[in-house]
Amino acid sequence: MSASNTMSVSNTLRSVLVAAALGAAAAVMLAAVVLPGWAQNADPASGTADAVSIDNFTFGPQNLTVKAGTKVTWTNKDDIPHGIASANNAFTKSRALDTDDSYSFTFTAPGTYQYFCYLHPHMTGTIVVQPNNG
């Protein structure tokens, strides 16, 4: 391969990498600005109160309210690994979750539990556990 061909391939590769990085940065910024406004507490009667989806570097719902004794399951729908960790070590952190892997934890004590992705700390969420009076 000639020097000019090598330089052309190098410049093309550099352009592709820069475009990919800018696209990823724009997606993260958009998610950080738009998605929190859409986050809603799940309705326990709907059967979705125990599910958190990880998609596009976002937890959905970002804020979840459940009753004490509920097992919450996080499922990674992204094509890269994510990990779940408590902000104050209130629960055991997950292993790195590949695509379609899941992690569950049963919340037995009422309170507010902040969590994050330990591989991407800008990803955060909250589980609010209410007393189970019934």
Strand 51-55 relative to strand 70-76: parallel, antiparallel, unpaired? parallel
pLDDT tens, the chain, 134 aa long:
565 555 565 666 566 555 555 555 544 444 444 444 333 444 333 344 599 999 999 999 999 999 999 999 999 999 999 999 999 999 999 999 999 999 999 999 999 999 999 999 999 999 999 998 86
Question: Does CATH place domain 41-130 in 2.60.40.10?
Answer: no
Q: Report angle CA 90, 96, 98 to the nearest 5 degrees.
A: 135
**Residues in contact with 113: Cβ distance below 8 Å, sequence separation at least 6, in sequence order:** 86, 87, 90, 91, 107, 126, 127, 128, 129
**pTM above threshold 0.85:** no
Domain boundaries defined on the chain: 1-38, 41-130
C-beta of residue 129 within 8 angstroms of C-beta of residue 107 = yes
3-state class (DSSP) for residue 24: helix
